[in-house]
Amino acid sequence: MCLHRLLRALPRMVVLAAGMVVCRLQAQPALTWQANPDFGKVLVDATPGTVALSPLAGRLPTGGATLFNGTVAALSFQVSGPTGNAFTLSGFPGSLTLTGGGSTVTVDTWVTNLSAGGVTGLFGASPTTILAGATLRLPGSPVAGVYSNTFSLTVHDDTANQSSTPAVTVTVTAWIGNALATLKVSDLVFGTLAAASAGTCTISPTGARSVTGGVMAVGSTLSAGALTITGTPSAAYTVTLPLSCTLTGPAAATLTVDTFTSATTPALQLNGSGSGSLLVGAKLAIPNNATHGAYTGSFIVTVAYN
């Protein structure tokens, strides 16, 4: 057999070169939601004010703003990514308008628990908890109601693959009410009395007068104390009356008023327009040989939201 035919008869040999395939998987940044920011309940009078919500959910009011009870929460979430990589939080609005109740309020000046209160940091070996607060800016006498709005937040990996998390919606909420205010309509007037001996004179919240002992009712000019209350529509409130007060008359003579009573309309709740009325009565004690003359004094009634 010739050499040419021999070579053709041998099976062909195929040599495969083994290669190495390298694939590096880069960890992606992640954002795990925990809590939306809630400024809680805030009361505002006719003076504009602010409420600063800290990253630790503390609140600091200024101006006409007063803190009320209710749930308060700072913005809270966790971020994770390649250990040691730098990240940036993106999406905090310069100014966010909250709507509700017929007015608008704004939220701005976001502050976090990161370095210098900023929006940058480094991914750690375990998830990093981010806390953030902001400032709520309020006009004077806003319409009461629940105010809210949303914005989108992402976490961006500034190193390596330059990737970002999907946007997460943040809902910002604040319950805003009108501060309680009172306006005196009439004083508590016991009228003119004659006293042959010790006794008492009582004015009821409806303005009815009764006397005991040696006291006689003479004049007809008398009245219960009356106040108008304004505040958040349909809100419940409490009334705190004094235990007693002192009236001062001629030559520094004094008389004591105690046993204060009250009546409200509606009953300890403002109406749908945010107003109500408060009537106050009390009992005047007159001792034997009381000095004749006019006696006056003052007392404080405290009205507060329930």
Judgement on whether residues 148 and 268 belong to the same structural domain of the protein: no
Q: How many residues are given for the chain?
A: 306
All residues at 6 or more sequence positions from 206 whose CB lies less than 8 Å from its CB, including other chains = 224, 263, 279, 281
Judgement on whether residues 243 and 206 belong to the same structural domain of the protein: yes
Residue 4 lies in a domain: no
Q: Is the pLDDT of residue 277 over 60?
A: yes
Q: Find the mean pLDDT for residues 2-19.
A: 46
- The enclosing domain of 163 has a CATH number of 2.60.40
Judgement on whether residues 120 and 56 belong to the same structural domain of the protein: yes
Q: Which residue has the higher pLDDT, 21 or 183?
A: 183
Judgement on whether residues 175 and 187 belong to the same structural domain of the protein: no
Question: What pLDDT is attached to residue 160?
Answer: 66
Q: Is the pLDDT of residue 30 over 70?
A: yes
Judgement on whether residues 161 and 39 belong to the same structural domain of the protein: yes
Judgement on whether residues 210 and 287 belong to the same structural domain of the protein: yes
Buried b vs exposed e over 58-81: b needs ≥16 C-beta within 10 Å? ebebeebbbebeeebbbbbbebbb
pLDDT tens for each residue of 243-261: 999 999 999 999 999 999 9
One-letter identity of residue 57:
A
Judgement on whether residues 175 and 188 belong to the same structural domain of the protein: no
Judgement on whether residues 40 and 173 belong to the same structural domain of the protein: yes
Residue 227: give the domain boundaries.
182-305
Angle (nearest 5°) at CA 36 between 173 and 146: 15
Q: Is the pLDDT of residue 1 over 90?
A: no
- Mean pLDDT in the chain? 91
> Structural domain tally of the chain?
2
Q: Which of 179, 209, 227 marks a domain boundary? A: 179
Count of C-beta atoms within a 10 Å radius of residue 280 = 24
Q: Is the pLDDT of residue 3 over 70?
A: no
Judgement on whether residues 187 and 144 belong to the same structural domain of the protein: no
Q: Is the pLDDT of residue 49 over 90?
A: yes
All residues at 6 or more sequence positions from 232 whose CB lies less than 8 Å from its CB, including other chains = 43, 144, 177, 178, 270, 274, 305
Q: Which of 179, 209, 231 marks a domain boundary? A: 179
Residue 9 lies in a domain: no
Judgement on whether residues 78 and 174 belong to the same structural domain of the protein: yes
Residue 81 lies in a domain: yes
pLDDT tens for each residue of 151-201: 999 999 998 667 899 999 999 999 999 999 999 999 999 999 999 999 999
